[in-house]
Structure 1
């Protein structure tokens, strides 16, 4: 028996319940009719409600105040034990696929495939490692280069075929047909592949505990909540950004149906004990909020005269600049902070100074036409080709998340717990299924 921590990042179970009431999502319906749905409560301050802060809380059982991780990738500078090391210490075999902001500090994991933004060791056979490096490069380049789905598939297919489950053919077909028409559906293809990869590695390596992080739901909710039938507000996406509503397409229902199929497979398997966690969830954004990412980091930084920096892209609008010399870092700070948008003092880049590294964010959230007049060094230039629109932020984070243990019957568990408590629930489930908990009690 393998305990699977299925990490469905920021999934909105309150929307799932609405779709169930409409007769949709039959497997989620069966799950919630049978199992206890528990709300999790994370941090209270909005700046702390980021997934790269809250998933380290799940992995460690520590609050943000205790673990102190605020940025994606910062886990590599912390040394507290995570769930995988804690279970290894009890003699269990562990594995991880794309855990957000987690470091591979295991002694001998069955496999450990880190998220695309965290600089930590990959543990896997050569073929899986090659696939994972390609996945990471596609994830990091996709927003900037707007890779077509055919191009992505052409790169992935030769490496991914050995992990594809024949039983999930219908899942791939559904995603493929949608992704050929809509960019937002591409993220679902990766999640379907990750699930098949997880099941293949589980069968081959037989871990006692493994985690699988899926992010397409969070991605699509952020980008397209306004297009969904479950949204009842007044905001709407412009048609140049999304044709989903005009074509009577519901992006949220689409990704929930993909996940519904995965949930169904999990419920049918007798070799898994599945615990689902969302970390956070999302709520509709009442304001117009555009987010951008640099297309070519080196080219744009060169326009500003920023030199001597190694660029490490992070998720969405964030990137890290690494310098060997503090003088170069200080010069970069001066140039970046002197760059503004339009005729106002609205900065283009926000900087967190860390000495030889600068954590940077594109902090202009206005409409694309504003980028035609970026001010720097007494001159104005058009930066609309230098930054690509990542999203119109349809939804923002909220502290409520969800947790479901498929072994806990409806009515037998808590209605609400702290997110920190999920760590203990995962650990105890893994120990119980492996028999280690009984041995400890004896």
Structure 2
């Protein structure tokens, strides 16, 4: 008998403790039903160093079964070029069909009967089938520039995006949700625009479900990040007593329910995916990779703020920096690519010449390997900085206004990563396991489920969880 198909839901950074809280209060009925019919685990990451507790590292470890010290994929854009065998390639090599829809830091693939859409931060026009590029490129632009009021999308791109959605699963429910969202911003409070992240999730689900029903791959993953974003931005509104810098009553009135809103929106999507998996006869797995907790560093200086370039291309042109390409990645960071390492080094030196009057450099850098002609950089000014603050260019002696180059993102960082994650496998058992599982166990568990052995290459340190699953697995 062929193994059951698997539908993997990657709901990034949902917190086991908040899931417990809001399941108990009745806010998350679908999560409650899923946990009651699943083997559920709290997961541990593959690293102890908090600097490595990043989703683009942890999801890459999950997808490959390799720990960070084995794969060394450190940046969000590294996974697309890394050579390791991940679950998608392992299954394709065994003649299976797969789908990856926005899963983080996955290398692109193109295989008959399969589909691939990169995560919004690493999108390079390499979707498969190629028609997905219309959708993925538009979404990527919106996600990367969501905070930038000066960024705009042309009418032609908007029209192409809408036409794509109409042909690829746009639902009446999503259209209605868009109308309600816009009405709430206009008639109630424009600050409720933070809830637009749930609209993107609905659009993602519409397109994914249409693809999934049409192609019915043996294994497919679906990734969304909206609630992780809300937690990073609004944890101090959820739990103001934990912070020194506390929002006022007006802000709490607007944003105090933002995180619970995100969980409830994901709960509604989960109900949809549970129905999809049941109708397609697929085993449903829910995973978060890691979670979050209050971010309390920098409270003494007013909390950590982020500043972002108005126009990354215009900035590099202004600095006379030639490059092959440059892309925003996360929040205040960018990845630039060059023809040669000499060009990379010259670009770093030129950007490093910018400093505040205090002497603090405007940008910091995360070095790549010496042989790679790439530069990962971001604004390192974490204190609230006004637009008229002076920036000095040591290369030319010129002075600039801070606001000419950068703008401040409104939200103060409030959440940071926590090592605990959730892994629920819908076996029908309802067993809540006391012992933790490693994220490195997921790769061998999936291979075991499909009757496959480990690929050649570095030894995988995880173990299959199948022997630990409840007795009702066969009947689930």
Give the TM-score, by structure 1 length: 0.87
- Structure 2 counterpart of 1:124: 129
Distance in 1, Cα, partners of 2:8 & 2:194: 25
- Structure 1 counterpart of 2:309: 294
1:185-238 CA-to-partner distances (Å, cap 9, x unmatched) read 22221111111211111111111110101111111111111122x565134565
Relative distance call for 1:274 and 1:327 in structure 2 (3 A) is same
Name whichever of 153-162 and 417-426 sits farther off.
153-162
Is 1:103–2:101 an aligned residue pair? no
Distance in 1, Cα, partners of 2:327 & 2:233: 24
Name whichever of 3-12 and 165-174 sits farther off.
165-174
Q: Are the aligned partners of 1:36 and 1:409 in contact in 2 as well (CA < 8 Å)?
A: yes
- Equivalent positions of 1:13-92 (< 5 A) are 13-42=16-45, 43-92=47-96
Offset at residue 346 of structure 1 (A)? 4.5
- Equivalent positions of 1:205-220 (< 5 A) are 205-220=215-230
Is 1:404–2:413 an aligned residue pair? no
- Structure 2 counterpart of 1:223: 233
RMSD of aligned alpha carbons: 3.0
Distance in 1, Cα, partners of 2:80 & 2:273: 32
Distance in 1, Cα, partners of 2:64 & 2:125: 17
Offset at residue 260 of structure 1 (A)? 0.8
Q: Are the aligned partners of 1:172 and 1:192 in contact in 2 as well (CA < 8 Å)?
A: no
Q: Are the aligned partners of 1:275 and 1:406 in contact in 2 as well (CA < 8 Å)?
A: yes
- Structure 1 counterpart of 2:350: 335
- Structure 1 counterpart of 2:199: 189
Name whichever of 289-298 and 24-33 sits farther off.
24-33
1:375-409 CA-to-partner distances (Å, cap 9, x unmatched) read 22244321224223344211011211111112252
- Structure 2 counterpart of 1:440: none
1:27-66 CA-to-partner distances (Å, cap 9, x unmatched) read 2222233333311111210111111111111110110011
- Structure 1 counterpart of 2:171: 165
Distance in 2, Cα, partners of 1:400 & 1:148: 38
Relative distance call for 1:154 and 1:15 in structure 2 (3 A) is farther
- Structure 1 counterpart of 2:462: none
Relative distance call for 1:155 and 1:71 in structure 2 (3 A) is same
Distance in 2, Cα, partners of 1:83 & 1:171: 34
Is 1:6–2:5 an aligned residue pair? no
Name whichever of 44-53 and 302-311 sits farther off.
302-311
Relative distance call for 1:82 and 1:428 in structure 2 (3 A) is same
Q: Are the aligned partners of 1:8 and 1:277 in contact in 2 as well (CA < 8 Å)?
A: yes
Name whichever of 417-426 and 32-41 sits farther off.
32-41
Q: Are the aligned partners of 2:126 and 2:133 in contact in 1 as well (CA < 8 Å)?
A: no
Distance in 2, Cα, partners of 1:176 & 1:192: 15
Q: Are the aligned partners of 2:326 and 2:337 in contact in 1 as well (CA < 8 Å)?
A: yes
How many matched pairs? 429
Q: Secondary structure at the match of 1:388?
A: strand
For structure 1, the residue ranges without an aligned partner over 5 or more in a row are: 438-442
- Structure 1 counterpart of 2:460: none
Distance in 1, Cα, partners of 2:350 & 2:152: 34
Offset at residue 429 of structure 1 (A)? 4.0
1:285-334 CA-to-partner distances (Å, cap 9, x unmatched) read 01311122211113223444434563222222221222224443333222
Is 1:314–2:323 an aligned residue pair? no
2:373 to 350, 356, 365: 356
Q: Secondary structure at the match of 2:403?
A: coil
1:115 to 104, 114, 119: 119
Offset at residue 430 of structure 1 (A)? 4.9
Offset at residue 426 of structure 1 (A)? 3.2
Give the TM-score, by structure 2 length: 0.81
1:285 to 295, 299, 307: 295
Name whichever of 348-357 and 8-17 sits farther off.
348-357
- Structure 1 counterpart of 2:243: 234
Relative distance call for 1:169 and 1:289 in structure 2 (3 A) is same
As a proportion of its length, which structure holds more strand?
Answer: 1
- Structure 2 counterpart of 1:366: 383
Offset at residue 247 of structure 1 (A)? 3.3
Distance in 2, Cα, partners of 1:211 & 1:55: 12
Distance in 2, Cα, partners of 1:374 & 1:8: 40
Is 1:376–2:410 an aligned residue pair? no
For structure 2, the residue ranges without an aligned partner over 5 or more in a row are: 298-302, 453-465, 467-476
Q: Are the aligned partners of 1:178 and 1:185 in contact in 2 as well (CA < 8 Å)?
A: no
Name whichever of 259-268 and 337-346 sits farther off.
337-346
Q: Are the aligned partners of 1:9 and 1:217 in contact in 2 as well (CA < 8 Å)?
A: yes
Q: Secondary structure at the match of 1:282?
A: strand
Distance in 1, Cα, partners of 2:290 & 2:135: 29
